[in-house]
């Protein structure tokens, strides 16, 4: 037992510990829990959802990570159906138009969904019935015959350290590497018959991420709004996305503008200290579309260091078997919600297998099961 664990006042024991309450971690934990395993989710933030994120503003919400939900594949379709049936989300915009030097042109005719309470409502729904330690950063992990997770309070009170038979690390690869790399050192104490496969570390090191800077601004209700609610700007040198997020909440009055930079702009300002100036610059670009845009009543700026995986792995999870450890996240197989869902479910099946149980034999029947249980409120 490590020194930290001996010092820990209490300790909790679980079949599986899941690091990260993003979409992949939540869906993984949900699947394992519904199969009868005892599961704990450790999340460093107070909020749930990771990059599926909402800022609560006075009288309004702004989605500063995931912009909205749309069908990307089987799993996102099932998730959207489940959330819409429970009125957690509702149809928002069909075709999102594109802003280019030639003006504004029509977008593809795809239904996009938003939540009147912010998109993070989807994560709250996925967390139904789960044991989650919020505001707890997993600082280090060690493996003897079971896992020991050392926690640090990122906010609030520090929870007891955690012991688990198996570990799922559902966070962006560079953060997973920081957490797990000490295990690669000779002397980390891993039993010789439990060493990860030879290519595990190289695969964990390979994915890199693009950053993104999001500006959130509120305006008085007197601002005359354009006909569009959201625009993409794939050809722009700085901006990727602009939306008026109050349009997701029927009855919301004050305009809430969300501007997301593209990767090149975020890279240029990755280490900038004055984020407010960066936010002001992004808003000034919107004046090209709305010349009457006044100074905002409120401006908040968020920097995502790990926004989108640049070079995801081909596989849906990264296993360290025979070590009972699986890494998951959107970077396993893609860079969006669909791959985060796929990865969470595939990681759950892999861990269940290592624990000697098995899950439904196809992704479809498995996800149908967990979404329908959630829909029917069976915990």
Ligand X SMILES: Cc1cc2nc3c(=O)[nH]c(=O)nc-3n(C[C@H](O)[C@H](O)[C@H](O)COP(=O)(O)OP(=O)(O)OC[C@H]3O[C@@H](n4cnc5c(N)ncnc54)[C@H](O)[C@@H]3O)c2cc1C
Residues in the chain: 379
Paired with 141 in beta bridges are 149
d(CA 222, CA 214): 24
**Structure token pair of residue 128:** 């139904």
If 0-12 CB within 10 Å is exposed, 13-18 middle and 19+ buried, where does residue 140 land? Answer: middle
Residues 177-213 as b or e (16 or more Cβ within 10 Å = b): bebbeebeeeeeebeeeeebeeebbebbeebebbbbb
The CB-of-252 to ligand X minimum distance in angstroms stands at: 20
Closest CB to ligand X among 66 and 204?
66
The CB-of-68 to ligand X minimum distance in angstroms stands at: 6
Closest CB to ligand X among 160 and 357?
160
> DSSP assignment, residue 278?
H
Closest CB to ligand X among 45 and 74?
45
HSE at residue 31, side-chain half, CA atoms within 13 A, is 31
The CB-of-59 to ligand X minimum distance in angstroms stands at: 23
Closest CB to ligand X among 159 and 179?
179
Closest CB to ligand X among 158 and 357?
158
The CB-of-192 to ligand X minimum distance in angstroms stands at: 27
Residues 293-322 as b or e (16 or more Cβ within 10 Å = b): beebeebbbbbbebbbbeebbeebbbbbee
Closest CB to ligand X among 307 and 313?
307
Residues in the site for ligand X, rule: CB under 6 A?
A: 19-25, 42-45, 50-52, 65-68, 137-138, 170-172, 175, 179, 212, 214, 260, 304, 307, 329-330, 335-337, 340
- Per the CB < 8 A criterion, the answer to whether 152 and 133 are in contact is no
Closest CB to ligand X among 8 and 329?
329
CA quadruple 298, 303, 334, 240: dihedral positive or negative?
Answer: positive
The CB-of-221 to ligand X minimum distance in angstroms stands at: 26
> DSSP assignment, residue 313?
B
The CB-of-21 to ligand X minimum distance in angstroms stands at: 5
Closest CB to ligand X among 154 and 223?
154
Closest CB to ligand X among 221 and 234?
234
- Per the CB < 8 A criterion, the answer to whether 180 and 203 are in contact is no
Q: Rounded to an integer, what is the distance from CA 172 to the centroid of its chain?
A: 9
The CB-of-294 to ligand X minimum distance in angstroms stands at: 25
The CB-of-302 to ligand X minimum distance in angstroms stands at: 8
Paired with 151 in beta bridges are 138
Q: Rounded to an integer, what is the distance from CA 27 to the centroid of its chain?
A: 11
HSE at residue 127, side-chain half, CA atoms within 13 A, is 23
Closest CB to ligand X among 73 and 116?
73
Paired with 104 in beta bridges are 99
The CB-of-53 to ligand X minimum distance in angstroms stands at: 8
Residues 9-31 as b or e (16 or more Cβ within 10 Å = b): eeebebbbbbbbbbbbbbbbbbb
If 0-12 CB within 10 Å is exposed, 13-18 middle and 19+ buried, where does residue 347 land? Answer: buried
The CB-of-112 to ligand X minimum distance in angstroms stands at: 9
């Amino acid at each position: 037992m490590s020194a930290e664990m001996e010092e820990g006042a209490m300790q909790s024991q679980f079949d599986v510990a899941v690091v990260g309450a993003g979409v992949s971690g939540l869906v993984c934990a949900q699947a394992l829990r519904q199969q009868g395993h005892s599961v704990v989710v450790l999340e460093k933030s107070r909020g749930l959802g990771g990059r599926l994120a909402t800022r609560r503003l006075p009288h309004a919400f702004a989605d500063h990570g995931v912009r909205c939900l749309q069908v990307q594949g089987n799993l996102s379709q099932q998730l959207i159906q489940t959330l819409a049936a429970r009125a957690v989300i509702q149809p928002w915009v069909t075709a999102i138009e594109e802003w280019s030097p030639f003006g504004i042109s029509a977008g593809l005719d795809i239904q996009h969904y938003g939540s009147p309470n912010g998109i993070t409502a989807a994560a709250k729904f996925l967390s139904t019935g789960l044991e989650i330690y919020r505001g707890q950063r997993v600082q280090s992990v060690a493996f003897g015959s079971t896992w020991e997770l050392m926690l640090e309070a990122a906010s609030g009170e520090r929870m007891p350290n955690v012991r688990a038979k198996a570990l799922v690390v559902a966070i962006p690869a560079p953060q997973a590497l920081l957490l797990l790399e000490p295990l690669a050192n000779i002397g980390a104490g891993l039993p010789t018959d439990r060493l990860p496969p030879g290519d595990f570390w190289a695969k964990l090191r390979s994915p890199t991420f693009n950053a993104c800077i999001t500006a959130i601004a509120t305006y008085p209700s007197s601002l005359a709004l354009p006909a569009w609610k959201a625009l993409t700007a794939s050809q722009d040198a700085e901006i990727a996305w602009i939306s008026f997020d109050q349009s997701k909440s029927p009855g919301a009055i004050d305009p809430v503008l969300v501007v997301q930079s593209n990767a090149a702009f975020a890279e240029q300002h990755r280490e900038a200290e004055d984020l407010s100036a960066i936010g002001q610059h992004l808003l000034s670009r919107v004046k090209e579309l709305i010349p009457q845009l006044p100074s905002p009543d409120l401006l908040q700026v968020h920097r995502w260091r790990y926004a989108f995986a640049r070079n995801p792995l081909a596989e849906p999870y990264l296993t360290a078997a025979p070590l009972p450890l699986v890494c998951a996240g959107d970077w396993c197989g893609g860079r969006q919600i669909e791959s985060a869902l796929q990865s969470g479910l595939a990681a759950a099946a892999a861990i269940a297998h290592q624990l000697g149980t098995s899950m439904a034999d196809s992704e479809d029947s498995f996800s149908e099961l967990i979404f329908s249980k959630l829909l029917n409120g069976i915990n």
